[in-house]
Chains A and B, each alone.
Chain A
C-alpha cells in the first residue's frame, strides 16, 4: 500500500477512525445496556474503512469488487438470521469464512511477490496461510459436527497425535525452507494443503462437549491469521483488528478450559470419551434413585421460596427454553425467587445458554454465572437441573479418582432439594456416573425436558386456579 500525499493520507485517516471505533465497539460490549452501541460503532468503523479502501488509487477495476460485495451480502444476510439454537455452528462457519479470506489473500500475495519476498514478510505470510488454512477446515469440521452433519462422537485411533503433530511439523519445515528460499514457488501449495488436512484431523477426535473450547481457540487462530495478514500488507488496522480478535478468542479459550479443568493441549490432543468407559462400568452396581412425577415436582416447586434452574445443552436440544420461561413466569407470579445458574461450558459455545434464555425473554439479571450463583445454593430450596449433567457432578469436587476431579461445578447438591430432568439414567458426555442422582435429596424427573417442564407448568397453573 502506497502513500501518495492526499489520497493516501485520507485513507490512513479512515483506518485510524475505524481503529478507534473498533476499540470502542468492544469496550461498549461489556454490559448489555451499552452493547448495541458497540455494534453500531463497529458497523460505522467498518463502513468508513471500506469506503476509504475503495478510494485507493491502486484499484483499476471495480467490477469484481462490486460482485464480491454483493455476493457476500447475499450470503451474509441469511447467516445473520439463523435460529438462536444454530448460533454455535454459524459462528464456526464464520470463523471458516474469515480464515478463507485470509488464506486466499495470503496465497495471491505470495504469487505476486515470489521470488522476491523478504524473509520477515515470508515468515508472517507463512504464518498467515498456515493458521488460515487449518482454521478454515477445522472450523468447517466443527460446524459440521455442531450441525450434526458429521458424527459428534470423538473419533480416535492409535498414534493420532503423532500423525497430526508430524503433519504440522512438516508444514512448518516447508515454511522455514520457503523463508530461506522464497523462489521455490512449487513448494508453496504444501503450506496451504498440509494445514488444510491438519485442520480436519485436528477436529476429528473432538467431541461435542469440548466445542466451547475449540470454537474459542479457532476464533483466536482466525484473529491471529488476520493479524499476520496485516503484517504482510503493512496494514495497522488489520493488525489491530486481528490482535483484538485473537485476544478475545484466547481469553475465551482460557476461560473454557479452566471451566473444564483441562489444558489446551488436553482438549486438542487428549480426546475424552474412551478412557472413562472403564470407570463407568466399574461403578455400575445397582443404586437406587428416587423419581417423581410432574405433579409431585409442582407441589415442591410451588412451596419453595427460592429456586435455581440449571440449564445445560440438553435444554437446547429439547428446545425447552420457552417452557422454562413459562415455568419462570408461573413461579415468579407466586412470589418464588427464581434464578438461573449457568456454567461457563454449558452448551456448545461460550455464553450459549444466556442467548437461548434471553431469546425466551428471561431477564438477564436473573442469569448468574457460576461464581455468582454458587454461594446461593445453600439457601436454595430447589435446584432444578434441566439437561445438564457433568457440570453438576459433585464427584468433581470430592472424588479424587474421578476423571473430572477438579473441574469447577455448580454446587446444586447444596440445595435442600435437587430435581433433575433427564431422559434416562445414561451418563453424560464424559461417560461418568453422577453421584448427585443417588442422593436422598435428589428427585429424578424422567422424560423429555420440554414436555416435562410443560407438565409442571400445567400442574402449577392448576393449583393456583
Chain B
C-alpha cells in the first residue's frame, strides 16, 4: 500500500512537470479554449464516479456516484464541444481570402 502511494506521488510530480512544460508553450491566443479543454480532460474523474455508482456497495454511494457521473459527463460533452467550436473560429488571414 505504501509503495503504491509513493509511486502515485512520483506520478503526480512528473505529470505536474510535463504539464508546466507543455502548457507554458501554449500561445495566449488559445488560453480560453485551453481552459475548456483541460476542464473536459479533468472530467476523467467520471471513471471514479462510474465505479462508485456501479459497484452498488451502498445506496449513498450509488446516489452520489450517479450525480457525479452526470456532473462529469456534462463537462466532457460540453467541454469538448465548445473547445472545438472555438478552435474552428481561429483562422489566419491567408486561409480566409474570399
Query: Which parts of B1-60 form the interface with A (CB within 8 Å)?
Result: 1-2, 4-5, 7-8, 11-12, 15-16, 18-20, 22-58, 60
**Structural contact, B39 and A80, CB atoms closer than 8 A:** no
Contact with A along B73-98 (1 / 0, CB 8 A): 11111111111111111111111100
Q: Is A46 an interface residue (CB 8 A)?
A: yes
A50-B50, A68-B49, A68-B66 known; A73 vs B32 contact (CB < 8 Å): no
Cα-based distance from A211 to B86 in the complex (angstroms): 20
Chain A: number of interface residues, binned into ranges: 35 or more
Q: Which of B12, B56, B87, B93 contacts A227 (CB 8 A)?
A: B12
The minimal Cβ–Cβ distance linking A108 to chain B, given in whole angstroms, is 4
A: residues with CB less than 8 A from B are 1, 15, 18, 22-23, 25-27, 29-32, 35-36, 38-39, 42-43, 45-46, 49-50, 52-54, 56, 58-62, 64-65, 67-69, 71-73, 75-82, 84, 87, 90-91, 94-95, 97-98, 100-102, 104-105, 107-109, 111-112, 118, 120, 215-216, 219, 222-223, 226-227, 229-231, 233-249, 251-252, 255, 342, 344, 349-352, 354-355, 358-359, 361, 363-367, 369
**Structural contact, A25 and B37, CB atoms closer than 8 A:** yes
**Structural contact, A351 and B28, CB atoms closer than 8 A:** yes
**Structural contact, B27 and A31, CB atoms closer than 8 A:** yes
**Structural contact, B39 and A222, CB atoms closer than 8 A:** yes
The minimal Cβ–Cβ distance linking B90 to chain A, given in whole angstroms, is 4
Q: Give chain B residues whose Cβ lies under 8 Å from the Cβ of A29.
A: 26, 30, 33-34, 37
18 contacts between A and B (CB under 8 A): A22-B44, A30-B25, A53-B47, A58-B51, A64-B53, A64-B54, A65-B50, A65-B54, A80-B78, A100-B68, A104-B64, A112-B61, A219-B38, A222-B39, A244-B18, A245-B42, A349-B35, A364-B91
**B24 nearest in chain A by CB position:** A251
**Structural contact, B53 and A248, CB atoms closer than 8 A:** no
Interface size of B by CB at 8 A reads 86
Cα-based distance from A77 to B75 in the complex (angstroms): 9
Cα-based distance from A363 to B95 in the complex (angstroms): 9
**Structural contact, A46 and B12, CB atoms closer than 8 A:** no
**Structural contact, B53 and A68, CB atoms closer than 8 A:** yes
A interface majority secondary structure: helix
Q: Give chain B residues whose Cβ lies under 8 Å from the Cβ of A112.
A: 57-58, 61
B: residues with CB less than 8 A from A are 1-2, 4-5, 7-8, 11-12, 15-16, 18-20, 22-58, 60-62, 64-96
Since A68-B67, A73-B77 are in contact, a sample of 14 more A-B pairs with Cβ atoms closer than 8 Å, ordered by chain A residue number, is A23-B18, A32-B87, A36-B84, A49-B47, A53-B47, A81-B85, A120-B2, A229-B48, A244-B41, A245-B38, A245-B39, A245-B42, A352-B32, A364-B91
Cα-based distance from A244 to B88 in the complex (angstroms): 24
Q: Give chain B residues whose Cβ lies under 8 Å from the Cβ of A58.
A: 51, 54-55
**Structural contact, B78 and A102, CB atoms closer than 8 A:** no
**Structural contact, B69 and A69, CB atoms closer than 8 A:** yes
Q: Give chain B residues whose Cβ lies under 8 Å from the Cβ of A231.
A: 5, 8, 12
Q: Give chain B residues whose Cβ lies under 8 Å from the Cβ of A52.
A: 47
Cα-based distance from A365 to B11 in the complex (angstroms): 37
**Structural contact, A80 and B77, CB atoms closer than 8 A:** yes
Cα-based distance from A101 to B65 in the complex (angstroms): 8
Q: Which of B4, B48, B89 contacts A359 (CB 8 A)?
A: B89
A73-B74, A100-B67, A109-B52 known; A27 vs B22 contact (CB < 8 Å): yes
**Structural contact, B42 and A105, CB atoms closer than 8 A:** no
